[in-house]
């Protein structure tokens, strides 16, 4: 993965827990301290960081990844708000543009191996989302990303991870229920 991702994990830990905790996690994972955003790092470096954060913070890896997904939306808007802005001003439009957004990012990150997303079964206030990736294990991050996008668009979102690779599919499926804060929420 590009160093940008590991850099954001570091920033999340330092923001939430301080430099000393980051140093413990970094040393437990056995990784470098400085990540170059545009440099490629081994996939297992990111896994090691997540596992070490899980051990040191006594939080399971899925929650670390979900927290990271949520953090990523803020991180991206601090650093690349123009990219997010181009992708839509409401949750559904934005989610439908995620593939185009990563394709645009791929123009300046040519080794990007982006995930892909497909919206199905749309009704007012709900949709299903299929998430495909060349990697495994990042479904909890998608839940967190959707939560973070809800915050970006002032939209209440509930997300249910319904089925996926473990059930023999080639994607992970989520049911997303949403309501803007001016509407009454229909999500349970
Ligand atoms: C400006 C905003 C964004 C940038 C610059 C960006 C860039 C990236 C980069 C560099 C990676 C690592 C992949 C690699 O190195 O091959 C990645 C992965 C990923 N991105 Fe984005 N991204 C952005 C926004 C989003 C948003 C809003 C979502 C919301 C769903 C998203 C979903 C994901 C997921 C789930 C992965 C994990 C890797 C995988 O599933 O295989 N990204 N993105």
184 Cα–ligand 1 center, Å: 31
102 Cα–ligand 1 center, Å: 7
Q: Is the CB of 140 within 6 Å of ligand 1?
A: no
Q: Are residues 42 and 126 in the same domain?
A: no
Count of domains for the chain: 2
Q: Give the domain-ending residue among 38, 59, 80.
A: 59
Q: List pLDDT tens digits, range 121-138.
A: 999 999 999 999 999 999
Q: What is the DSSP letter of 166?
A: G
Q: Is the CB of 112 within 6 Å of ligand 1?
A: yes
Residue 185 is assigned to a structural domain of this protein: no
Q: Are residues 100 and 127 in the same domain?
A: yes
Q: Are residues 121 and 70 in the same domain?
A: yes
Q: Is the CB of 4 within 6 Å of ligand 1?
A: yes
Q: Are residues 45 and 74 in the same domain?
A: no
Range of the domain at 53: 3-59
- Give 17's Cβ-side CA count (13 Å radius): 14
Q: Are residues 93 and 171 in the same domain?
A: yes
42: nearest Cα among 94, 116, 111, 93: 111
Ligand 1 pocket test: which of 115, 132, 170 has the largest number of ligand atoms within 8 Å of its C-beta? Answer: 115
Residue 85 is assigned to a structural domain of this protein: yes
The pLDDT profile of the chain, 188 residues, written as one tens digit per residue, is 999 999 999 999 999 999 999 999 999 999 999 999 999 999 999 999 999 999 999 999 999 999 999 999 999 999 999 999 999 999 999 999 999 999 999 999 999 999 999 999 999 999 999 999 999 999 999 999 999 999 999 999 999 999 999 999 999 999 999 998 777 556 66
| Structure confidence at residue 121 (pLDDT) | 98
* Chain position carrying tokens 């001003």: 89
Residue 188 is assigned to a structural domain of this protein: no
Residue 187 is assigned to a structural domain of this protein: no
Q: Are residues 55 and 74 in the same domain?
A: no
Q: Give the domain-ending residue among 59, 78, 105.
A: 59
Q: Are residues 119 and 166 in the same domain?
A: yes
Residue 120 is assigned to a structural domain of this protein: yes
- Please give the structure tokens belonging to residue 46: 């990111």
Domain with 117 in it: what CATH number?
3.90.1520.10
| Structure confidence at residue 181 (pLDDT) | 72
Residue 130's CB is within 10 A of a number of other CB atoms, namely: 16
Q: Are residues 47 and 134 in the same domain?
A: no
Residue 123 is assigned to a structural domain of this protein: yes
Residue 186 is assigned to a structural domain of this protein: no
Residue 25 is assigned to a structural domain of this protein: yes
Q: List pLDDT tens digits, range 143-168.
A: 999 999 999 999 999 999 999 999 99
Overall pTM surpassing 0.85 (yes/no): yes
Q: Are residues 42 and 92 in the same domain?
A: no
Q: Are residues 123 and 174 in the same domain?
A: yes
Residue 155's CB is within 10 A of a number of other CB atoms, namely: 19
Q: Are residues 31 and 74 in the same domain?
A: no
| Structure confidence at residue 188 (pLDDT) | 61
Q: Is the CB of 119 within 6 Å of ligand 1?
A: no
Q: Are residues 112 and 49 in the same domain?
A: no
| Structure confidence at residue 98 (pLDDT) | 98
Q: Give the domain-ending residue among 20, 39, 59.
A: 59
């Amino acid at each position: 993965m590009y160093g940008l991702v590991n850099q954001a994990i570091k920033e999340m830990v330092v923001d939430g827990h301080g430099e000393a905790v980051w140093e413990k996690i970094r040393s437990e994972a056995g990784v470098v301290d400085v990540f170059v955003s545009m440099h490629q790092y081994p996939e297992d470096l990111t896994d090691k960081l997540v596992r070490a954060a899980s051990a040191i913070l006594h939080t399971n890896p899925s929650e670390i990844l979900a927290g990271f997904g949520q953090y990523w939306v803020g991180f991206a808007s601090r650093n690349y708000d123009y990219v997010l802005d181009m992708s839509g001003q409401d949750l559904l439009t934005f989610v439908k543009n995620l593939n185009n957004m990563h394709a645009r990012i791929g123009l300046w990150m040519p080794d990007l191996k982006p995930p892909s997303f497909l919206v199905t079964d749309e009704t007012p206030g709900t949709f299903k989302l299929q998430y495909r990736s060349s990697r495994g294990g990042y479904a909890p991050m998608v839940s967190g990303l959707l939560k973070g996008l809800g915050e970006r668009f002032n939209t209440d979102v509930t997300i249910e991870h319904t089925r996926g690779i473990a059930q023999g599919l080639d994607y992970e499926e989520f049911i997303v229920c949403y309501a803007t804060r001016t509407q009454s929420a229909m999500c349970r």
